[in-house]
Each structure stands twice: as C-alpha cells, then as structure tokens.
Amino acid sequence: MNTQGVVREMRASWAFIVRNFNLIKRYWKWELVFFVYTIANSITMGFIGKGVEAFSGAELDTSYLILYMLLGSILWGYLSILFEIVAETVAWERWEETIEYTFMAPIKRATHLLSVCGFAILYGILRAGLILLVVSAFFDLDLSKANVLSATGILAVASFSFIGLGMVAAILPLISPEKGVQVVHIFQALLLMFSGVYYEITVLPQWMQNVAKFSPATYALKGMRSAILDGKGFSELWSQIWPLLILGLFLLPAGIYFFQLMEQWAKKRGVLKRSG
Amino acid sequence: MSYALTTENIKKVFKKNKKTIHALKGIDLQIREGEIYGLLGPNGSGKSTFIRIASTLLIPDAGKIEIFGYDVVKKASKVQRLINRVSVEASFFRKLSAIENLLFAAGIHGISKKEALKKIYAISEKVGLDKGRLHDPLEDFSRGMQQKVAIARAFMTEPKLMLLDEPTTGLDPRAKREVQSLILHMKEKMGATILLTTHDMEEAERLCDYVAIIHKGRIIVKGHTEKLKAMIAHKIKNPTFEDVFMEFTGVSFDEAEYEEAESA
Ligand SMILES: Nc1ncnc2c1ncn2[C@@H]1O[C@H](COP(=O)(O)OP(=O)(O)OP(=O)(O)O)[C@@H](O)[C@H]1O
Ligand SMILES: [Mg+2]
C-alpha cells in the first residue's frame, strides 16, 4: 500500500470511530441505563462475596472475596460492551440499511472491523474503570496491593483474542438480523462459564477444565486477579501472557477471515438488504 | 471507444423459502464512457439486482462483469474506488444528523473532512437542500429531503461510474428537476458515466443517451434513445419508451407488473 492508501485507510478508521461515538452520544440515556444495570450486577456479586462469611460461619478474607467476585463481574461487563458494540454495529447497519453503503466503500474489511473493535475496547476499558470506582464506594476494599497498571495490561493483551471472537460474533447479525445479537450474549455467557468467571476453574469437571485452556478469558481472569489481589507486576504474569499472545495471534486473523468469508456468502445469497 | 461497464451473460437466481426466483437470465450490455445509460422496466424486472451486482454487493451466479476493465467480482476494491450508488431507499443512521452521516460516508471513502464539507455545501446548494437543516437528525427529514442527502452522499465522492437506482422517486417536481440537472452536470462537466433506472419516462427521455429495456430478467431491446423511438414512429406519434416496451412485449408496464405479481 502506498502513502495515499494508508491515509485513506486512516481516514476511514477515524470515520468509524467518530460514527460509533456519535451513536453512543445520541443514545446516552440508554448507555446510562445500561451502566446502572452493570453496576447493580457488580454490587450484587460483591455482596455475594461478603455474604459467604455469614453463612459459612468461618472467618474469611472478605475483602479478597469481594474483589475476586468483582473482577469476574468487571470482565463480564467489559466483554458485554465489546461484543455488544461489535455485533450491534453490524445489526444496526442492517436495520438502517446503511450496510450496503459501508460494504461498498473502497477500504479493507480489516480496517473497518479493527476500528469498530478499537473503539469498543477504549470505551470498554474506560467503563470498567468507572465501574470499579463506583463499586468500591460500596465496599471497604483493600486496594493497597492492587497493581491496576498490570491488570490493564493483561486486559489489553487479552483484547486481541476478544476482538477475534467479537468479529466472529459480528457474523451472526450479518446472517440473521433478527436474533443475531441475542445469540452473541449466549456465546459470551458460555465463554465465561468455562473460564472461571466467579470461581477457580479447578472446581469445574475435568472436561470443562480442558475447554477452559483454550479460552482467552481464563488467562485474562487469572492474570487480572493476580495483578489486583496479589499485586503481581506485568513481568511476573508471563504464564498468563504467552497463552494470550498465542490465542490472539490465532483468533484475530481468524475473526477477520471468517467475517470476510461470511460476507462473500451473504453477497451470493443476497441477504444484505432487508426488504425484498 | 472505451467502455465504462461491460457484461456478458450475467445470471442471478435467488432462493428464498424453497422458492426460486430467476432475477436475471443472462444480461449483456455495454455502457460507453461518458454516456447516460437508462435501464427501464416494470417492477421486479431485475433492475436493482443488476445495479447491486455492479456495486459489488451481489455476486452473480454466472457471467462476467467488468467496470473500466476491472472484474467486479475479483477486483472489487479497485471497482469500489470508481463507483458510487444512489438507491430508492435513502439508507441512513436516522438518529444521526445529515452532516454526521455525510462525513462518515466521506471518511470511509478516504475524503478529508475539509474537502467533504466543501463538496457537501456545494451539492446542497445545487439540489436545494437547506444548509440550516444539515445538523438535524435524518429521522426528522421528509423522504424527498433524505433522498437529496443520499444524492449528496454519492456525488460527493465524484465517481467515474454512477449507479442511480430511481434517484428521483419521491421527489417533488422542482427537486426532480434539480437532481436531473445535477446528473447532467456530472456527465458534462466531470465526464462521469451514469447508469440510471427510473419509472419516469419523461426523465428517461430527458437524460438518457442510450436505453435498454428489461423484462423478467432479460434485456428485450436496446438502442440509442432516438433510434428506439424511431423504430415504432410509423405506428405511434411521439412514442415513449413505454410504447417501445409495449411494442416488444405486447403488454404495458402496468400489465407486466401485474403479471409478475401473479406468477410470484
Ligand atoms: N435479495 C433478494 N432476495 C430474494 N429475492 C430478491 C432479492 N433481490 C431481488 N429479488 C427478487 O428478484 C426480482 C427482481 O427484483 P429487482 O429488485 O431487481 O427488481 P426491480 O426491477 O428493481 O423492481 P422495482 O422497479 O420494483 O425496483 C424480484 O422478483 C425480487 O423479488
Ligand atoms: Mg428496484
């Protein structure tokens, strides 16, 4: 690609980011509602952590438990936003019928998808931070050891894989405008169930533990918990980082590839336009 | 003479709920560079399907289609740089303002904001789109106004081949005139080639250099505007393309449409 080509792709990338920002801005009331919902979920999880002591009778490190649960819930919220934005923009474009115009633009599909995902990641990380801030007001959290920077680093590395999965998720509304987005939520719930969202994966049956090894969320959760609960630095989390890198290296291109494959299929079947 | 678009035996079949629709049954046409080419036919004859194929949005089942020498299927991204399209449905993010929609479209075509704004204002002027309304959400626009924004979106990128699928449907007579002038301006001042579908025979006559009439997925007759009419001038005084259509199919546009609905 020549310089002119690079400039064009960069302008396109920026255009996608601005568009998604504008859409969120226009629906800010819904964003607020959804934010409150996520906060409510996180607080509930925090109280479950606190409640364990009450019904087990044993003396536990409650602060540790609360944070443990909260981190699960924060990753849940983060993935929701990421998948939601990526899948929803495709669903939206189908609904508004702008998808034909977007697909006609002379840009690489990778630029398109990566820009939307990039926006989703920035928005998701910002949101996760805000949630942690709001929720910590409800609990007496011990964040003295927490290494927020290395937790964010883990989330960033894990995001390469999450983007790949997000693109696969975006295929669903491409082929089924009605139910595509709902299926994305089911997919997310399954992913987190296998990955130890509110528990160590060692409590899972062996076959589920085997599946968990292939989920980036497993390493993301473990890495973030080590960083926040035990104060581990980024360099100490290598055993989480390398599987995330390998998964990302595979999942990211695979996501782009499958999206393009299904785009070709949609163009053969003539399903891009909504009305007959 | 060089060609902007050529096709050979383009076929497209749709399968929906066990039903098979033969939308295009072998289309051959050649559009010369710099001409306005009219594709006329009743509802459901395959016009939009053909335009979607030329726009890289549909992949034909058989045949060959080239735009300025590039294979539309294999070299889609090369082709996309040379074309743009206006469809009957305006297709916008309805919650976003006209300017937000237009700047998005400009951005994904690699046009800078500054350049885009200049063009948006110039085109708005030409089609009588009130600048003061550009910051309103599109859902507040009337259909005709939305159509004008759609026209601005396509003309802004200055494509070498413009695919216009009923661009003036839903516009009032004055707006229609303005858009028609813009189309002529594109051709004369910028040397663009235009493929136009319309149900407005007057419009076809006013704009088109060459016309193909399509019926049930087949081109039944094509030729220079004047020659087509001359072919039946001995029978009908001041014939229209509808008369031409009737002469070759034995039915009128309305009847053909009815027929289509019955067989569907
Ligand atoms: N994506 C699609 N899926 C299924 N069938 C389709 C699709 N697109 C078009 N068709 C069918 O193909 C035939 C041709 O449709 P097309 O839209 O090309 O007609 P048209 O000439 O543009 O009609 P109109 O004048 O009403 O716009 C119709 O029977 C239509 O129902
Ligand atoms: Mg049509």
3-class SS letters over chain A: CCHHHHHHHHHHHHHHHHHHHHHHHHCHHHHHHHHHHHHHHHHHHHHHHHHHHHHHCCCCCHHHHHHHHHHHHHHHHHHHHHHHHHHHHHHHHHHHCCHHHHHHCCCCHHHHHHHHHHHHHHHHHHHHHHHHHHHHCCCCCCCCCCCHHHHHHHHHHHHHHHHHHHHHHHHHHHHCCCCHHHHHHHHHHHHHHHHCCCCCHHHCCHHHHHHHCCCHHHHHHHHHHHHHHCCCCHHHHHHHHHHHHHHHHHHHHHHHHHHHHHHHHHHHHCCCCCCC
C-alpha radius of gyration, chain B, whole number? 19
What pLDDT, in 10s, does the model give residues A126-147? 998 898 889 888 888 878 888 9
Residue B20: closest CA among chain A residues belongs to which residue?
Answer: A269
Cβ contacts from A onto B, under 8 A: 103
Q: What is the ipTM of this complex?
A: 0.91
Which residue is closest to A267 within chain B, CA to CA?
B58
Cα–Cα distance measured from residue A261 to residue B221, given in angstroms and rounded to the nearest whole number: 38
Hey, are the CB atoms on A97 and B83 less than 8 Å from each other? no
A102 lies within 8 A of chain B by CB: yes
Assess whether pLDDT exceeds 60 at residue B156: yes
Nearest CA to ligand 1 atom 27: B43
Distance CA A155, CA A49 (A): 23
- CB under 5 Å of ion ligand 2: residues: B 47-48
Give the pLDDT mean for A20-43.
Answer: 91
Residues 6+ apart with CB under 8 A from B60: B10, B11, B12, B24, B53, B73
Q: How far, in Å, is the centroid of ligand 1 from the Cα of B19?
A: 14
> Distance, in angstroms, between B225 CA and closest chain A CA?
31
pLDDT attached to residue A275? 54
What spacing in Å lies between the alpha carbon of B47 and ligand 2's midpoint?
Answer: 5
**How far is ligand 2, taken at its centre, from the CA of residue B165, in Å?**
7
Among chain B residues, CA nearest to A97: B91
User: Is B59's CB within 8 Å of A267's CB?
Assistant: yes
Contacts of B57 in chain A (CB under 8 A): 100, 103-104, 267, 272-273
Q: Inter-chain contact A14–B100, Cβ cutoff 8 Å?
A: no
> Residue B255: what pLDDT?
77
pLDDT for residue B258? 66
- Give B40-63 pLDDT, tens digit per residue: 998 999 999 999 999 999 999 999
Q: Is the pLDDT of residue B232 over 90?
A: no
**Least Cα separation, residue A89 to chain B (angstroms):** 11
What digits encode the pLDDT tens for the residues B173-186? 988 998 999 999 98
- For the cut 90, the answer to whether the pLDDT of residue A58 exceeds it is no
From chain B, the residues in CB contact with A19 under 8 A are 93, 96, 100, 104
Supply the Cα-derived Rg of chain A in whole angstroms.
20
Nearest CA in chain A to B112: A11
Which of A2-6, A173-177, B139-143, B144-148 shows the lowest mean pLDDT across its residues?
A173-177
Q: Which of A90, A101, A264 to mutate to test the interface with B (most CBs of B within 10 A)?
A: A101
Average pLDDT over residues A2-17: 94
Taking the C-alpha atoms of residue B106 and residue B97, their distance in angstroms, rounded to an integer, is 14
Nearest CA in chain B to A112: B108
Q: Chain A residues with CB inside 8 Å of B109's CB?
A: 12, 105-106
Per residue in A187-231, pLDDT tens?
889 999 999 999 999 999 999 999 999 999 999 999 999 999 999
Q: How far is CA B197 from CA B168, B183, B224, B230, B264, in A?
A: 10, 13, 16, 22, 22
Q: Which of A26, A103, A264 sits opposite B96 (nearest CB)?
A: A26
For position B260, what pLDDT does the model report? 59
Confidence at residue B259, expressed as pLDDT on a 0 to 100 scale: 66
CA of B46 to the centre of ligand 1 (A): 6
Question: Which one of A15, A107, A270 has the shortest CB-CB distance to B104?
Answer: A15
pLDDT at A176: 76
Question: Would you give the DSSP letter of residue B137?
Answer: B
Q: Which residues contact ligand 1 via a Cβ below 6 A?
A: A 270, 273, 276; B 14, 16, 21, 23, 41, 43-49
Residues of A in contact with B138 (CB under 8 A): none
% of chain A beyond a pLDDT of 70: 99
**CB B80 to CB A106 under 8 A?**
yes
The alpha carbon of B50 and the centre of ligand 1 are apart by a number of angstroms equal to 9
Tokens of A230: 């035990």
On the question of pLDDT at A276 being above 50, the answer is no
Mean pLDDT check: name the lowest of A107-111, B47-51, B188-192, B235-239: B235-239
> Residue A6's pLDDT band (boundaries 50, 70, 90)?
very high
Q: Note whether A19 contacts B: Cβ–Cβ < 8 A.
A: yes
Q: How close does chain B come to A96, measured CA to CA in Å?
A: 6
Task: Give B60 to chain A, closest Cα distance, Å.
Answer: 7
For residues A90-99, average pLDDT: 88
- Ligand 1, atom 11: closest residue by C-alpha: B23
Average pLDDT of chain B is: 91
B83 has a pLDDT exceeding 80: yes
Average pLDDT rounded to a whole number, residues A175-192: 83
**Confidence category of residue B167, pLDDT binned at 50, 70, 90:** very high
Q: B135 pLDDT exceeds 80? A: yes
CA distance A230 to chain B (A): 45
